[in-house]
Each structure stands twice: as structure tokens, then as C-alpha cells.
Amino acid sequence: MSACKECIRRSWLLGELSRLLDYHRGELSTLLKLLALNDEALINFIAGSRRAELTEHWERFELDDPEVKPGVQTTCMHRPNYPRALLGREAEPRMLHIIGGRERLAELSAKPAVAIVGSMRPTDYGMEMARSLARGLAASGVTVVSGLANGIAAAASAGALEVDGPTVTVMAGGVDVIEPAGRRDLYERVIACGCVVAELPCGFPAQRWCEPARARTVASLTQMTIVVEADQDRRELLGAHAAQALDQPVMAVPGQVTSPASRGTNRLLMEGVPMVRTPADALERLCGLRSASPEPPPLEPDLQAILEHVGAGRDTPGKLTAARDDPRETLLALSELEVKGLLGRGDGGRYVPRESLTDK
Amino acid sequence: MLARVKTFTIDGLQIWHVAVEVDIRPGLPAFTIVGLADASVREARERVQTAIRNSGYALPMSRITVNLAPADVPKIGPGLDLALACGVLAASNQVPPDLLEDHAFLGELALDGSVRSCRGTLAIAQACVEAGARTLVLAPERAREAMLVQDLRVAPVQRLRSAVGVLRGDPPDPLPAPEDHELAGAGVSETELDLSDVRGQDHAVRALVIAAAGGHNCLLSGPPGTGKTMIARRIPSILPSLTRPEAIEVTRIHSIAGDLHGRLAQTRPFRAPHHTTTAVGLVGGASKGRVGEVVLAHRGVLFLDELSEFAKSSLEALRQPLEDGRVAVVRATHSTVYPARFMLIAATNPCPCGYAGEGARCRCSETDLARHRRKLSGPLLDRIDLQARLEDAGSEGLSAAPWTSSQNARERVIEARERQAHRLRGEAVTTNAYLDLQTLQQHSQLDQQGQQMLLDAAARGLLSARGQNRTLRVARTIADLNGRERVATQDVGVALSLRPETGLRSSRAA
């Protein structure tokens, strides 16, 4: 059953007010307060010279069928299949456009869900961590929610898709506006496996206020937010701040103290946010149980030693061969680890561990 | 009366025999040249007339007609001057015309009657034998080049007068004294760059020795300032020296291109065209059949620095030479096949700014990275067998001892090449780089464990089908370097760690 007229009108109104909302994008709390207002109050508060015109249109709003676009469905807070997680939140989105099926979204949002957020310019370490966390969580049946943005968000979706796991992607603009355009492939794979949702009307290009608005939708859809890698400025930490504004648990992945890309996450950890190293850490916090994941088979001591070298930052073939006696054996071991899927190659030919080291 | 003189003209790498026919008959004084002569040949009229007068001969005041046969081949360059002058002298009975039969002439005339040398001497000397001339008369500077050809008498002459003397049976002028490097013979010349200058790049140098041993094309990657170009320039020093037939082949090409002066090539050519070079500049076929960089790199090294900055069309043009070892150039006026068997060394930064993988130091956007990767994933890169990664050596690395010297590396390379040549006797190829699938399977004798490793790597998405063959070829070379008859698992492992990262399956292409 598609969304009711009032909720569709709300979505239309947000689109109309988009330019004006952009003035308030800077402060997350202000934006959330605005989004919590009802329609009349919102028009009164920010519409300015367009107030009369918008009020008139709003009063005589004619229902365009938003499902006119093939594949796009809608749902709203007045419908039984609306994600329960969204109800009762501060400034919750009132309706969603969905590609991938209303029922599928209801099903995905009924599961425990985790948001994976972070930097748009991560390091290879961040990419691999996002991917392996998402993969592990999705494999345990947790829905992974993220955006389509470059960096951590895309890596998280890709990680969940590696195991065909449940995943929801929230678009900043219209649900059919693929932004960034280079992620079309990922977008289509998400649709095949999970859902893509958006609050704004179809065809609506994202404005800058849509980023924080999306961050709140991502946080609202989940029970917990994991920040994988983020520098300390506001834009990088947007996901974390949105979750904190909604009083939702946040976890952070530690990074090297010397890495600027981890300044934000390390600061969160210092402020007392729990640390997450493996999917098991996140599952423990989410469901309160230590998962009984099987211990990985022990590695040969040689391979284990190399893996530890790489984890400790000696991650280029030159450094690795210099650190050990026999270069040929070292290269062979590196190839074996790659074939086993325990090492990947990042930019510039650096090796990146693909799973975090387990406690002994 | 009529005289006929032999000379030659150059078209690309091809040498055409040109018969210069000079006819003098009474009439108003005139000097006409017909037969597709280009501007420099037509200007020869002035040089020839003045040189004849200044050499003390008489210029007939009658109608002189010169025909250059065959009439449909374009005649290029000033090398025809000497033949023209001798033809005029013979036609005016100042030289006995019947003596011209056995002689061919090559040289540009100065106004005072002295003879200047011309490019392409070696190739012309070879053509001379085929055309049935027993003596080649030319300027002394490049005469040594012509002397490399057997069954040919080389008569160096400094002036037009001496050329006429040679026709009459006088001894030719003496050759200039050979320069020092020519006396040294075919050894490694003193000025050559040595691998021992390279510090702290052991891993990359190791990869390059493997590339040189198997003749594999190789990609050098690393941040700016780590020494990609420096290392690439030292590759000719670890390649086996040219065999005599190869040296003659190389000398011929470079002599025609005009960048070699009268001696046999000793080191393998190293060509490093700038990244703005066009496709035509690379493969050749610009005006007058100029050869391209790939032909000049024949039997040597073609180094493409900043590979991702090359135009797509330029890189595409390299596919045929890389596949076939030759390049067929078809243009409006001519079509030619040039030899082009070279080792390709490409160098690239890991990303446009050069610091990818170093966290915040890299300022490239996702789009920049994607574009860079796309540039490096073309079909050209399919022909590259291994990738040598350079990294910031740091002060520690720079003060470390060099890993090897060119001398040592070259000995290992030669040994591995001999092993290959022995194993591949009877096959069409001599180095592992050119092994086709069938021969490769037959010669690798891979053990069970190594086979499994290749299959696992393919299953993991690390290798494409073609990538498996490349890895196996490199593994074969590593085994050759280590003196092993069979390819072991270790060799496969090392080859796998050196595989080029050419696909789009980077960690960021999520």
C-alpha cells in the first residue's frame, strides 16, 4: 500500500524548500529541529517571500502518483509496513521512496541493523575494515545500512554484497538519482540484493543539506552506528554526530595515531565510544552475545609472521623483503596469503590485511 | 651524349637503387632534373654546377637533362649530388663513361667540390652489393660503416677530384683515424650507466633482472623521485650484448635515422620518447617514410615514462609491434613493414599526484584515480608480464650497499638466456616472453602444488586466464635464473607477487 497523500505532500514540500533548507545545513541540530516541524510551521519558518505561494500550493496539493516511475514504490509512517525503526525518532523521515520492494524493506528493517559510516577519502585500511565488518555482519544476518557515497559507505555496501547479505542504501537526493554517477554498478547490485531508499521525490538532485538529512535517515534505520575511519572535521564525522543526536549507540574502529584519516575515530574512542575491531565486537554490543564464530584454522608460523609484519605497517614488498632473510620465500608467502584471501593489494602496491587479527 | 651512374635513395628503411641518366645535347644552356626529385635533389643543380667549376672541370654550355630512374620512386636527400656530378662529367667526356659501370656514388657536394657524408651509409652499402656495384665511392666520415659489408670495395673520397681519380684507377683518400671507442672493440663502453648506482631499491632491481632475463615487458611503478627513470636507463647494461647480425641490423636502422656516426652499434638502443609523442611518432610513417620510435628501439629497450599521460591512440598503436615484433605502416604514398622487436619498459606513478596509498598525502579525487586506472588497464597492459614496484628508500636505503652491479646481473641474465635458448632449440622463439600457450605448457613442467596455486589465485580473482599464462611465463624465467629445469611452487609464488596490477579490481573500485 503506497504512502498517504499527506506524507507525499511532505516529500514534495521538502523538495520545494530545498534551496532554503540549504541555508541551515551547517548546524546539524538546527536542521534536525527544522525537519521535526510540521508542514505549516516549516513554511512559516523558512519560506520567506515564497510563503503565500507555497501555502496556496500546499493547500491545493494534487496527488501526483509517485509510483508512476516503474520500480519505485512508496510507503509512509501511517502504513503498517513502514520500518518500525523509523517511528518515534526525532525528525524521522515521514515517507520513503523505495526501489527493491516495500516488502523487502519491511523484511530488512525488521532485522537488527547497523549503519557503517565514515570518511569519503579513506585509506586502504579503512576501505578493508569497512568491507570486512560489513561482510561479517551481513553474513550473520545483520542488515548493513549506508549511503552510496565514495569511500567507507560504498565499501560497506560492497562488503555486504560479497556475501549477498541484507543491505539498504539511502540516497541523498531522489531514489533514482545515482550520485556519484560512477557507482551505478554498486547501485544496481544493491537493488538486486536489498533496497535503495530516499526521502525526497524522484528525480530530485541532491543538495548539500541532503547529506546531514541522509545521515539522520541512515542512523534512524539502525540500532547502532559504526564509524570506520574519519578525520576530525564536521563533514567526516557527520554519521557519528547524527547517531549521537538521535541518542543511538556509536562504535568506532581504531586507527593509527599518526594517520590523519583516523583522527576523528580516535577522538571518539577517547571520548568513551566503544571500540570495534571485528564483526564479533559489533555483534556482542548489538545483541549482547559473544558469537560462536569458528576459529580460523591456524596459519603456518611463517605466514603468520608476514601477516603481523604487514599489520605493523611494513606493508610494501620492499620493506617486507628487507625485513626478512630470504626474499624469495617472503614473496612466495605473500602470494600464498593473497591466494588465501588474507591479504589484499591497495593503491601503490601496498599490502592490506583483509581480516583483523583475532585475539589469541 | 648519354651517361649512366648508380646511386641510391632511402624510403623509410628501404633502399632503392637509382640510375642517374645524364644526357647532354646542343641547345640553350639548361639543367633539368626529372624523376620525382624532392626539393633537396632539385637544388642539387646549383651545388653540382658550382662544384664542377670549382674543381677545375668545365661545365658544358649546352642542354643537360637528368633522369632519375625508376621514375615512380620519390628521390630524397642530397646524397645524389656526387652521382649527378660524375654523370655530368662522363656525359661531357671529361671522365671515360665505361668506367662508371662498376661504381656507385653516395655523397653531398659542397660548393668547393668537397664531399659530405650522408645518413644510411650501411644500408646503402648493403644495397650496393645487391645492385652489382663493386665499389662504393663516398665521403670518408662514414666509410667505416660501409666497410662492415663484405664483398664491397669502399673508396673514401674527400673531393670531387678524388672521385674522378678513383674512376681513373688512382688510390682513394685515406680514412680518418678511428676514435678511441672504436678501438676498444665490442665490449661495454666506459660511459655506460651501471646498476650499482641504484641504492635501496633491491626489490625493483630484482624484478628487472627477471624481466631482462626473459625479455619480459615490465611496468615500473612508484612515487615521484624514487628513481624509475634512473633504473630504466640502466636496463640496456644488463641485457646481453648485441650479436653481430643484430648489431648490423641495429646499425642499419640508426644509420638511416642519422643518429649514428660511422661505427657498429655496440650497446642495445634505449629510446625514451616523451609522453606527448603521437601514434605516428611512435610507429613511424610520417612524411618521407620516417621510422618511428618503436623501430629505433628494435633489439633494445623502449621506455615510456609517465605511461598514463600518453594519448590513448599512441598506446593503442603499440599493440601490433608488441604482438608481432614488427610494424606495418600504410600511408597514402607508401606501405612498409618495419622490424620492431623491443623490450617495453613503462613507468607510472601510482596515481596522478604520485602518493596513492600514503593516506592524506595523496590529493587525488576518486575520479582522478578511476581515470588513472582506466588508462592503465588497456589492452596494451595485457602485454606487460610483470610489475616492479619502487618505494621511498629513505636515508637508510640510500646509504645501503647496492644489491648488484650490472656486470653480475648481466652474467646471470646471459646464463638464463642461454638456458632458454637451449631448452627452446627448434622453436621459433628464443626467450620466454614470446612463448605461446602450447610451448609454455610444454616447457614449464609445473609441479602439482604450483599448478594448484595458479588455480587458487584464479579462483580468488587475482588472475585472469591470460594473467595465468603471464604468471607462468615469468615463473619459467625465474626458474631459469635459478638454474632449475622444472618450475617450482616458489617460482610461481614469486611471479604471482610481481604480477602487474592492470585490472580495475582495485580495492577502491568497490
CATH node for B2-168: 3.30.230.10
The CA distance from A278 to the nearest CA of chain B, in Å, is: 19
Q: With cut-offs at 50, 70 and 90, classify the pLDDT of residue A222.
A: very high
Antiparallel, parallel or unpaired: β B14-25 and B2-11: antiparallel
The CA distance from A328 to the nearest CA of chain B, in Å, is: 6
Task: Find the angle CA(B390)-CA(B394)-CA(B398) to the nearest 5 degrees.
Answer: 85
pLDDT of residue A214: 94
> How high does pLDDT run on average in chain A?
88
Q: Which residues of chain B have pLDDT under 50?
A: 183-190, 503-510
Question: What pLDDT, in 10s, does the model give residues A125-161?
Answer: 898 899 999 999 999 999 999 999 888 999 999 999 9
Q: Which of A169-178, A309-318, B327-336 has the lowest mean pLDDT?
A: B327-336
pLDDT of residue B185: 43
Report the distance separating Cα B8 and Cα B288, nearest Å. 15
pLDDT of residue A360: 40
A335/B453 CB distance under 8 A: yes
In a mutational test of the A interface, the residue from B353, B392, B497 whose CB has the highest number of chain A CBs within 10 Å is B497
Q: Domain B195-425 class?
A: alpha beta
Nearest residue on chain A to B500, alpha-carbon basis: A349
Fold match, B2-168 / B195-425 = no
- Residue keyed to cell 632511402: B10
CATH node for A301-353: 1.10.10.10
CB neighbour class for B422 (10 Å; exposed up to 12, middle 13-18, buried from 19) = exposed
Q: In angstroms, what CA-CA distances link A152 with A174, A182, A226, A278?
A: 21, 15, 11, 16
pLDDT of residue A244: 93
Q: With cut-offs at 50, 70 and 90, classify the pLDDT of residue A294.
A: low
B221/A348 CB distance under 8 A: yes
Find, among B79, B77, B27, B417, the residue nearest to B239 by Cα: B417
The closest CB to that of A123, out of B202, B359, B501, belongs to B359
Domain map (residue ranges) of chain B: 2-168, 195-425
ipTM: 0.78
Domain map (residue ranges) of chain A: 66-287, 301-353
Report the distance separating Cα B168 and Cα B97, nearest Å. 11
Question: What pLDDT, in 10s, does the model give residues B212-269?
Answer: 999 999 999 888 888 888 898 888 889 988 888 888 888 888 888 877 666 778 788 8
Using the Cβ of A334 and the Cβ atoms of chain B, whether some distance falls under 8 Å is answered with yes
Using the Cβ of A323 and the Cβ atoms of chain B, whether some distance falls under 8 Å is answered with no
* A 197-256 near B (Cβ less than 8 A): 231
- Residue keyed to cell 609522453: B275
Task: Find the angle CA(B393)-CA(B397)-CA(B401) to the nearest 5 degrees.
Answer: 140
* Contact present, B355 and B344 (Cβ < 8 Å): no
The CA distance from A350 to the nearest CA of chain B, in Å, is: 7
Report the distance separating Cα A344 and Cα B244, nearest Å. 47
DSSP-assigned states of every residue in B126-150? HHHHHTT-SEEEE-GGGHHHHTTST
The CA distance from B457 to the nearest CA of chain A, in Å, is: 5
pLDDT of residue A130: 94
- Kindly indicate whether the domain formed by A66-287 is annotated with CATH number 3.40.50.450: yes
A348/B489 CB distance under 8 A: no
**Buried-exposed string B170-209: b where 16+ CB fall within 10 A, e elsewhere:** eebbeeeeeeeeeeeeeebeeeebebbebbbbbbbbbbbb
Q: With cut-offs at 50, 70 and 90, classify the pLDDT of residue A307.
A: confident
pLDDT of residue B500: 84
Report CA dihedral (B235, B239, B245, B250) to the nearest 10 degrees.
0
* Contact present, B271 and B293 (Cβ < 8 Å): yes
B492/A335 CB distance under 8 A: yes
Average pLDDT over residues A71-78: 90
Question: What pLDDT, in 10s, does the model give residues B418-433?
Answer: 999 898 888 888 888 8
Reply yes or no: is the peptide bond before residue A279 cis, omega within 30 of 0.
Answer: no
* Contact present, B369 and B501 (Cβ < 8 Å): no
* A 134-153 near B (Cβ less than 8 A): 150-151
* pLDDT exceeds cutoff 60 at A58: yes
In a mutational test of the A interface, the residue from B198, B201, B202, B203 whose CB has the highest number of chain A CBs within 10 Å is B203
* pLDDT exceeds cutoff 80 at A296: no
> How high does pLDDT run on average in chain B?
85
State the SS3 of B211-247.
HHHHCCCEEEECCCCCCHHHHHHCHHHHCCCCCHHHH
